[in-house]
Amino acid sequence: MPQHAFAICQIGSEKLLKGEVGRMRPKLRPAFARPGLVTFVSDEPTTPELELDSVFARVWGASLGRASTPEEVVALLADQKANLKLHVFPRDPEAPAAETARIHEALMATGKFVPETKPKPGDLVVDVVVAVGEPWLVGMHRHRVGRWEIPGGLPNVVVPPESPSRAFAKIEEAIIWAKLDVKVGHTALEIGSSPGGAALALARRGVNVIGVDPAPMGPGVVEYRGPGGAMVTHMPIKVGELRWEDLPPRIDWLLLDVHLAPQVALHAVQRFLPRVKKQLHAAVFTLKLNDQQIVEEIPALIERVGRMGFKDVKATHLPSNRSEFCCVAK
């Protein structure tokens, strides 16, 4: 069995990932790293079932070694007889897609992998991480609920030109990652909605959005009409001024994305959770990473969200997140 592990993260988050793994999995020691990739070495064998308990790792697993040709990849998998799923993805999300597609095609032609890319829980997935001018890193993980089904955890959400912010991509990625069952006719309450990127994304899905933010919404957001007549209603007030009487009888989704410390932000929404929680499908909290201390307190923040009455709480660093992370609470 290999004694190395790998993890893929946002470029620029390698230090955060190393620190997190050092706290959660001290037997894993950092080895070599590249932008968006960190490898670890262990005194014990690593397996595809490896868990890092890391918010900053999008993809992780046992590291099998390096390869430069399809034949070398197959040689690394010589002992594997199972139906293997193949995920080929670039280390840098901005890299041209054509080269990744070519490598995927060449690997599929070896006959080592099943045609279906989307894994089911329990499936073994071979991860081939591609970077220009470098050998490929070959790893393996066993898929489970809560992990990305998409190669590299890169859904490649396209933000339309009319969106006023990248929050459009953040909510779309959260929906895909957490498999949120967003439907036409649902209602969402968004705290910190300006300038309206996430609100526009939801309205395009047919969700009516109540956006609470003293700052103005971007051009065209409030005027937009989505499927089923979905629209965005802007309440230009601070969250502290929001009253229960201002809310509709049913809220399906709760979004929070404010420029406040996570503890303060969570406190701001906690007071009206009893009013909305009974019908709520899930809450999507975007929590800011203001300093290193906040990074170290992420497990405590996740635990706090659970104490707010949610049964299923998980967190990740979405591809569109920067100094923030996404917490989905069902």
Question: pLDDT band at 79, cuts 50/70/90?
Answer: confident
Q: What is the pLDDT of residue 293?
A: 80
pLDDT, tens digit (0-9, with 9 covering 90-100), for 36-75:
999 999 988 899 999 998 999 999 999 999 999 999 999 9
For the domain that residue 106 is a member of, what is the CATH number? Answer: 3.30.2130
- The DSSP output letter for 113 is B
Residue 35 has pLDDT above 80, yes or no: yes
CA distance 68 to 89: 15
Q: What is the pLDDT of residue 20?
A: 94
Amino acid at 86: L
pLDDT, tens digit (0-9, with 9 covering 90-100), for 135-150:
999 999 999 999 999 9
Q: What is the pLDDT of residue 1?
A: 59
Average pLDDT of the chain is: 94
pLDDT, tens digit (0-9, with 9 covering 90-100), for 181-192:
999 999 999 999
Question: pLDDT band at 80, cuts 50/70/90?
Answer: confident
**Whether this model's pTM surpasses 0.85:** yes
Residue 237 resides in a domain: yes
Looking at the chain, list the stretches that DSSP marks H as alpha helix, in order from N- to C-terminal side. Answer: 14-24, 70-76, 97-108, 167-178, 197-204, 262-270, 273-276, 292-296, 298-307
- Do 141 and 277 share a structural domain? no
Question: pLDDT band at 322, cuts 50/70/90?
Answer: very high
- Do 83 and 203 share a structural domain? no
- Given 92, 125, 153, the domain boundary residue is 153
For the domain that residue 175 is a member of, what is the CATH number? Answer: 3.40.50.150
Residue 72 resides in a domain: yes
Nearest to 20 by CA among 48, 58, 49, 47: 58
Give the chain's domain count. 2
Residue 125 resides in a domain: yes
- Do 298 and 175 share a structural domain? yes
- Given 106, 122, 153, the domain boundary residue is 153
- Do 282 and 179 share a structural domain? yes
Q: Which stretch of DSSP H or E encloses residue 1? A: none
Residue 159 resides in a domain: no
Per-residue pLDDT, averaged over 112-129, amounts to 95
- Do 262 and 172 share a structural domain? yes
pLDDT, tens digit (0-9, with 9 covering 90-100), for 282-313:
999 999 997 778 888 999 999 999 999 998 99
Terminal C-alpha separation, the chain: 37
- What residues contact residue 311 under an 8 Å CB cut-off, 6+ apart? 330
Per-residue pLDDT, averaged over 243-272, amounts to 91
Q: How far is CA 131 from the centre of its chain?
A: 22
Six-digit token string for 68: 């430069």
Strand 253-257 relative to strand 187-191, pairing = parallel
- Do 68 and 20 share a structural domain? yes
Residue 78 has pLDDT above 70, yes or no: yes
CA distance 57 to 37: 9
Q: What is the pLDDT of residue 74?
A: 96
Per-residue pLDDT, averaged over 169-177, amounts to 98
- Do 171 and 129 share a structural domain? no
Residue 229 has pLDDT above 70, yes or no: yes
Residue 188's DSSP bridge partners are 209, 253
- Do 313 and 202 share a structural domain? yes
Helix (H/G/I), strand (E/B), else coil: 87: strand
Query: Residue 246 is part of which domain span?
Result: 167-329
- Do 124 and 187 share a structural domain? no
Residue 138 resides in a domain: yes
Residue 162 resides in a domain: no
Percent with pLDDT over 70 in the chain = 99
Residue 187 resides in a domain: yes
- Do 72 and 19 share a structural domain? yes
Residue 319 has pLDDT above 90, yes or no: yes
Percent with pLDDT over 90 in the chain = 86
Residue 158 resides in a domain: no
Residue 115 has pLDDT above 90, yes or no: yes
